[in-house]
Amino acid sequence: MITIATDLDGTIYKGTELIDGVKESYKYLIKNNVDIFFITNNSSQTPYEIKEKLENLLSLEVELSKIITPLNILESLFADQTIKIFVYGSSNLKKFVKSINQKITNIDQADLILIGRKNKNEISKINLMKDFIQNGKDVLCLNKDLTFPSENEDLPGNGAVVKMIEDDLHINIDSLGKPDKYYIQYCRAKNFNFDYVIGDRVDTDIFFGKKIKSKTILVESGVKNFESTDLADIKLKSFSESVPFII
Ligand SMILES: [Mg+2]
């Protein structure tokens, strides 16, 4: 059986719309026994919400276990313990953190600062996080994507705030997203072996595929890339063009 891992934003859909040809090619791949995993750095929706979104768009059932987001990695990382977390992010993210039995606290009491994405950034909170990080507080971020694609334009992502803090403090903040170590460790622990990794970003999808030694397919349907697109094994216009390479 062939197993593929495909990115979501910019590869399968943009905002609330499927990318042209995805529905037909997805059905065709499934019919031909290709095992399809969805790998995303998007953490503004829970894995369950992504499952529902995919099922609505594809008109097919999608297994929850086939969706891998930084929230799965967060859950598994602290599965055996409850820690106190200061969350910089959406109310949805806070709800998820509580649902996996972690405690949300003020920054001064927190064991960990978790940086997610906010629709409106709060400079005072970013400065506060900087102070605490500089004084040794542990920090993780959900991903380092500088932008993410919406229906019409690329919007600032989770990584914009992370990069600001990293540059100011001259540090590196570990991320729970692709292509970073925790995401890879999670896939290894679950024994996921992907023959192909498909995505629209070089710095996340293609780097991830390279690190886990999969064949990498870069599609042009998503964000603008700043790294060389030549790093990908195969370059295509969109997801649907990948079908003849996979089967
Ligand atoms: Mg993408």
Provide the CATH number for the domain around residue 228: 3.40.50.1000
**Residue 26 within any structural domain of the chain:** yes
Look at 224 and 242; give whichever has higher pLDDT: 242
**pLDDT, mean over the chain:** 96
Q: 159 and 105 in one domain? A: yes
DSSP state of 94: H
pLDDT for position 29: 98
Instruction: Give residue 114's identity as a one-letter amino acid code.
Output: L
Average pLDDT over residues 45-50: 94
The Å distance, Cα 12 to ligand 1 centre, comes to: 8
Q: 196 and 156 in one domain? A: no
pLDDT for position 14: 95
What is the domain count for the chain? 2
Hey, what are 25's tokens? 């090619």
pTM of the prediction?
A: 0.94
Hey, what are 42's tokens? 């998007």
Contacts with 91 (C-beta within 8 Å, 6 or more apart), sequence order: none
| C-alpha dihedral (222, 230, 147, 125), degrees to nearest 10 | 160
The Å distance, Cα 48 to ligand 1 centre, comes to: 19
The Å distance, Cα 205 to ligand 1 centre, comes to: 7
Hey, what are 125's tokens? 């909170």
The Å distance, Cα 145 to ligand 1 centre, comes to: 9
Q: Return the SS3 of 65.
A: helix
Q: 204 and 140 in one domain? A: no
The Å distance, Cα 247 to ligand 1 centre, comes to: 23
Question: Using CA atoms, how far apart are residues 198 and 6, in angstroms rounded to an integer?
Answer: 5
Whether 157 shows a pLDDT value over 90: the answer reads no
* Range of the structural domain that residue 115 is part of: 80-175
Q: 166 and 89 in one domain? A: yes
pLDDT digits (tens, 9 = 90+) for 55-68: 999 999 999 999 99
* Lowest-confidence region among 16-20, 82-86, 119-123: 119-123
Q: 164 and 201 in one domain? A: no
How far CA 21 is from CA of 11, 18, 63, 154, 205, in Å, comes to: 11, 8, 21, 21, 20
The Å distance, Cα 143 to ligand 1 centre, comes to: 12
Instruction: Give residue 135's identity as a one-letter amino acid code.
Output: N
The Å distance, Cα 39 to ligand 1 centre, comes to: 9
The Å distance, Cα 132 to ligand 1 centre, comes to: 31
Please identify, among 113, 142, 175, the residue that sits at the C-terminal boundary of a domain.
175
The Å distance, Cα 154 to ligand 1 centre, comes to: 11
Q: 85 and 160 in one domain? A: yes
The Å distance, Cα 172 to ligand 1 centre, comes to: 22
Q: 56 and 20 in one domain? A: yes
The Å distance, Cα 80 to ligand 1 centre, comes to: 31
pLDDT for position 44: 84
pLDDT for position 146: 86
Smallest CA-to-CA distance from 179 within 140, 226, 144 is with 144
**Kind plus residue range of the DSSP H or E element containing 234:** strand 234-236
pLDDT for position 151: 79
Please identify, among 175, 192, 210, the residue that sits at the C-terminal boundary of a domain.
175
Q: 229 and 154 in one domain? A: no
Question: Using CA atoms, how far apart are residues 50 and 56, in angstroms rounded to an integer?
Answer: 10
**Residue 75 within any structural domain of the chain:** no
Q: Return the SS3 of 77.
A: helix
Q: Strand ranges (DSSP E) for 89-186?
A: 103-104, 112-115, 138-141, 147-149, 154-156, 174-175
Average pLDDT over residues 201-216: 97
Relative to beta strand 112-115, strand 138-141 is: parallel
Average pLDDT over residues 149-169: 89
Q: 66 and 116 in one domain? A: no
